[in-house]
Every structure is written in structure tokens, then in C-alpha cells.
A and B are shown apart, each in its own frame.
Chain A
């Protein structure tokens, strides 16, 4: 085969150009630290990277949601504990009031205690959490219960504010997976026997005032029902909080795993990249050196 100067030069230029392009690629990998910058760098990984990125961002949101739900559930739990304490106190007062040994004066004092417990119960029912009412469910921008007071400021009746029953507020904590962030007031203060806890308390207070021991006894059974309900709700909220907690743990794990997988796909193995860069650099220098030696001489150099 005839080899000509022009052909040889062109081939050398092309080869040096290719070497230089590979050197530049290797350099880019080292500087950016990324193995996949554009889809064409690794098309099969590109789709996975996009979907992992999506899922990672999504999981971060789910985790934040679960955390928000958990803090709401914790607030609900402590309110429930306060309510249980209140009911226990009320029950003790009612038992004392039903005892014939307690005199008229004693009952009047108990009636006063119950009156203040009614206000406290109302405060719990209408407890705020940020810009919403803790037990308001999905209608939490108005107070769940409204009190009606006489001129002395005593509560004489308590009624639901909303015409429609609010639903429990939910939040998404996984693909197609929702978690209730609390409970609604109605589930806590409307007793299973159709009574409203506030009405029970008001009746108890009024019965103590007028020395009506029979009505105090009736109230006692309702208060037991209310205590049971509060215990049920506490365990329900506790279960939900535990679920939120386990979801958070799972999501944290999931995020770590996904981030690892993503890093495997996207990030460069630094040792490998640097080694490759060095070998490309050597190859480039060698091809330049060879080119410089080859291009120079022709017969012209040897003719006088």
C-alpha cells in the first residue's frame, strides 16, 4: 500500500483529535464527579436516575408529612391525657357528692369545682394548634363547640358549631397511603349513649347545687362511659402515632437506600476516574510525541 504524507498527516491529526476528546471526557468526569451528566452518557441509567430522583424528593415530602402528623398526634395525646385526668377528678367529685355523708355545703363546693371543670373541658375541646383547632378535623377553622352562658358567666349549654360533622383530617404519607392526623371533637365528647359530655357535666353541677343525689348517680354512669371513651381514643391516637413513627423510620431507610443507589448510578468512582484520566493523558502525550517524529522527515531532508 502506498502511504502518502497527506494521508499520514490526516490520520495522525484524526487520531490525536480522538485521543484529546477522550482526555477531555476523562477530565470532565474527574472535575464534575459525575458519571452520568446527560441521558446519552448512559441511557439505561438515565430513566432510573429520573425516577429515583422523583421518588427521593417524594419520600422526603412523605417523611415531612408523617412528622407533621406525628406532632399533631402527640399534641392530641397530651390533650387526651389532660381530659382523662379531668374526668377522673370529676368522677371522684361525683362519688363524693353521691355520698350521703357529704353535706349541702360540701355539694355546693363540689358544684363550684365541676363548674370550673366544665370550662376546662371546653378549653380542651376547642384547643388550638397553629391556625386550626386540634379537634376540628377538616372543618378546623371554627371552634368545635360553642358555650352558652348566663349573665353570671356560667355555662348553661354547649352545642356543636358546625351543621355538618367534620371528618378526620388526613395527610399522604406514601403512594396511595394516608394517615389521620388526629381525631375530631365529636368522637370524644359525644358519648355512645347519645349524651353530650358537656350536658352531663352541666346536669351534674346543677344536681349538686340542688342536692339531687339521684341525678348525681345517673351522671356517674355517664362519666364512666366518657372515661372509657377517652381511654379508647387515647389508644387509637397512640396507635396512629406509632404508625407515623414506623412510617418515618421506613422512609428514612428508604431515602438512604435510594440515595445510595442514586449515587452508584450518578457519581464517579474517583479512584477509577483519576486512574483513567492519567492513562488518557499518557496516551495523548505519546501520540503527540510520535506525531512530531513522523511528520518531519521526507526524502527532501536527505537530498543536498
Chain B
């Protein structure tokens, strides 16, 4: 037979369960703006019924069975994959923007415009080969093209070294995160959490953005983290990533002796910039600068200056790339030694004409491309590359947004929903409290009998 006390105990359990459910709701409301928070749900379950006698089961109320985190593993992985892709193109986009800032000036102050001014200054000298004035102008044009090449070369070199720093920084961060993930695995094991908790989910998000990792849960609820097909975190142990270089100076990433290929995430964006775009552009610009200096010098040294000097180089012939191109010391000191004449007479302009003709001379790619054309192709190429990347960045960002809103629709906190639950649990709590007062009245009645 049931007892009044049993009913009171039932009411007590109901009060506790509804209050716990309210606390879960409160937790959800409190965390409505917390990034990476997945909503929790109080799972209430009917308490174990007591069999009074065969065929008669009397319920004993409600118990809080579990607090479940609402998370869909498939959606999570979709988000993380999209994060890795979006991060790759966004990082590359930032670097391309730097590149464009260095080389993208289409006007007179850009590399192409300054080069034009330089060639044209020779045409001006050809018109008045015996004068000093066009030589002073020409020396300035020479300084200006050297300076522009140098600045571009130095900016590119600086960008390359910054890229290296950024790659290093991200590898360090990757190693810190996998150590934290391992720690979180152990914490979860200790507290018996079998599903992915917020702490590990956040770590996995960041790891995906960095290097496009993948993961699965093992039977004890630990995260097994993979990069490509190399294991990085195996429950309670992890292996750090190291950065080495191959014979050509290209990046090689190694985890526990295995070479890994990083094909998405920020690191892959940075590596592709360093190895493909930036390396090609730097090599091309250096080739251009050296070809340019040699072509001008070769003609210039066969001519005669206003002071009768000959065999003079216009640019310093020891140039090794765009970043160290400079006027020769002779021209720097005295612009009278700038040669316009081939026969030694001051009024001859043959050298000036020949150097101006270099603007149309196919000097590159096996005598097929002029310096100006290949410079224009280089600059336009950066623009095209940027556009491609921008399109990829936008589409990957869009799919990330879709995945995130999908995740949000599964795991996000809805205030309306929580408020409804709050009222529901409050009503249940009030009703359970009413049960207590009713039982109390019953007790009073019983006691007055005595």
C-alpha cells in the first residue's frame, strides 16, 4: 500500500527534477551568446515503479536521467571541413592583397609606368644628345626605376619572411592545441563524458581552421585526431608536428616521422602562397631586373659620354635580383658619362636610340617577350589570381555559413524555446509544490484524528 510519506517523497523528487530542468534551461539562456556552446537538454525519466502486489504498479514520480548535449556529429564535421577550406582561401586572399599592394599600381608610379618613363627618357636624350639637361633627367629616371624595382623586391622578400613566421606560429599553435585536446580527452575520460563536449569541440574547430584535420571518437569517448592518414592524437597521447625543408627549400611537414600533406586550412593557404605565387613572382621579377640591367649595360658600355668616357656601365653590373638593382657609381657621381654617342661625337644619338629600342626588344622567354609585356603579364596575373581566389573564398565562406547555420539550428540556443521550457518547468514545479501542500493538509487531517 502506498503511504503518505511515499507521496511526499514523490513530490520532493518532482520538485528536484523540475528544478534541475530549470537549471539546464537557465544554463542554456546564460550561454545564448557563448561561441561553441551547444544547447543542453534535461532528460527526465519516470522513476522506478514499485510493485505493491502483482499487477499493481504505483509510480514513484520522476528522476533527472541525464543532461544531454545536442550535437550532430555529421553536421560538426561538415562545419569543420568548411572551416578548413574557407580558412585556406581567406589566408591566401590576405597575402594576395599584400602582393597586389606591392605590384598592382597600374599608373605612372607603378613598376610598368616607371619603366616606360625610363625608356622614354632615352628618347628625350636622343633628341638632344649633346646636352646635360636630358642626362640629369635620365639619371633621375634611372634612380626611379632602380628604386621601384628595389622596393618591390624588398617588399616581396619581406612578405616571404613574414609568411615563414606565420607558418611557424601556426605550427606552434597546432602543437599547443593538440596538447590541450589530449588533456581534454583525459579530463573527459576521468569524468565519464562519452560524447564530444564543448571544450573539445572548440579545439577541433580551431584545429580544422589551421590544418584541415579529421577525427573520430573511440569506444571510451576519446577523440582520435588525424591529419591526412597520419594519427596526431590517440586518446591520451599525441605527436607534435615539425616543419622541415626539402632540397629545393619547400616546406615538408612531419608528424612522428611521417610526412603529412596539408591540403586545407590556414597553413595550406600560407604554404601555397610561399611555394607557388610568391616564389614564382619573385623569381620572375629578379629575372626581369637582371635582364633589364644587362641589356642596358651591354649597349651603354659601347658608347661615349659627354666627357668622352667609354666602357661605362649605366647600372651596377653586380645586380643579383630586383632588390639590389642600383645605378653604377660612375653614373651616380657624374651624369656626363651617360653615353648617347656611338662614334664619340657629342651630337651622335645612336646609343640613346638603341637603348630606347630595348623597350620593344624581345629579351625574355627565348627572345619572345619584351620586358614591358612580361611585367604587364605579371601584374595582370596577380589580378587574375586574386579574382580566382576571391571567388573560391566567397564560395567556401558561403558553404561555411550554411554549415554553421545548420549547426546552429541543431545546437544553438533559442530564447523562445527556452522561455517556453521555463514556463513549462515552472508550472510543473508549482504543481509539484501544490502536491506537497496537499499532502501536508492530508497529514494535518490525519494528525487531528489522533
Contact = CB atoms under 8 A, between A and B. Distances in A.
Given A38-B104, A51-B373, A303-B419, A4 B413 contact: yes
Interface in A130-144: 130-133, 136, 138-142
Nearest to B343: A138
Interface string A34-71: 00111111111011011101100110111011001000
Nearest to A14: B401
B13 interface: no
Max chain A C-beta neighbours (<10 A), residue from B130, B345, B373: B345
Nearest to B115: A54
A50 B126 contact: no
Contacts of B341: 138
Nearest to A54: B116
Contacts of B183: none
Given A39-B380, A139-B347, A170 B106 contact: no
Contacts of A28: none
Interface stretch (A82-90, A172-180, A236-244, A274-282): A172-180
Given A40-B390, A138-B348, A50 B419 contact: no
**Range class of the B interface residue count:** 35 or more
Nearest to B37: A6
A3 interface: yes
B412 interface: yes
**Range class of the A interface residue count:** 35 or more
B425 interface: no
A38 B375 CA distance: 15
A249 B417 CA distance: 80
Contacts of B347: 131-133, 136, 138-141, 169
Max chain B C-beta neighbours (<10 A), residue from A47, A68, A142: A47
B177 to A, nearest CB: 24
Interface string B87-121: 00000000010001000101110101100110110
A64 B127 contact: yes
A301 to B, nearest CB: 10
A58 B32 contact: no
B415 A43 contact: no
A24 to B, nearest CB: 15
A37 B414 CA distance: 45
A171 B383 contact: no
A7 interface: yes
B65 interface: no
Contact of A300 (B128, B348, B384, B419): B419
A102 B197 CA distance: 131
A53 B414 contact: no
A7 B405 CA distance: 6
A70 to B, nearest CB: 12
Given A39-B379, A43-B384, A5 B123 contact: no
A46 B124 CA distance: 28
A299 interface: yes
Max chain A C-beta neighbours (<10 A), residue from B375, B383, B417: B383
Contact of A4 (B113, B377, B414): B414
Contacts, number: 178
A130 B348 CA distance: 14
A298 interface: yes
A210 B91 CA distance: 100
Given A5-B415, A43-B384, A57-B117, A131 B130 contact: yes
A53 B350 contact: no
A123 interface: no
Interface stretch (B143-151, B245-253, B353-361): B353-361
A266 B409 CA distance: 46
B420 interface: yes
B100 A6 contact: no
Nearest to B416: A299
Given A54-B116, A57-B120, A141-B347, A43 B373 contact: no
Contacts of A65: 123, 126-127
A289 interface: no
B239 interface: no
Contacts of A149: none
B189 interface: no
A261 interface: no
A138 B350 contact: yes
A10 B380 CA distance: 36
Given A43-B383, A131-B131, A172-B356, A139 B100 contact: no
Given A50-B379, A300-B415, 10 more contacts: A5-B415, A7-B412, A50-B106, A50-B372, A54-B376, A64-B123, A68-B127, A136-B347, A139-B347, A171-B353
Interface of A: 1-7, 10-11, 14, 36-44, 46-47, 49-51, 53-54, 57-58, 60-62, 64-65, 68, 130-133, 136, 138-142, 164, 166, 169-172, 175-176, 178, 266, 298-300, 303
30 contacts: A2-B412, A4-B413, A6-B413, A38-B383, A39-B104, A40-B386, A43-B384, A44-B380, A47-B376, A49-B106, A50-B375, A50-B379, A50-B380, A53-B108, A53-B113, A60-B120, A68-B127, A131-B347, A132-B347, A138-B341, A138-B345, A139-B343, A139-B348, A140-B345, A140-B347, A141-B345, A169-B349, A172-B126, A172-B357, A303-B419
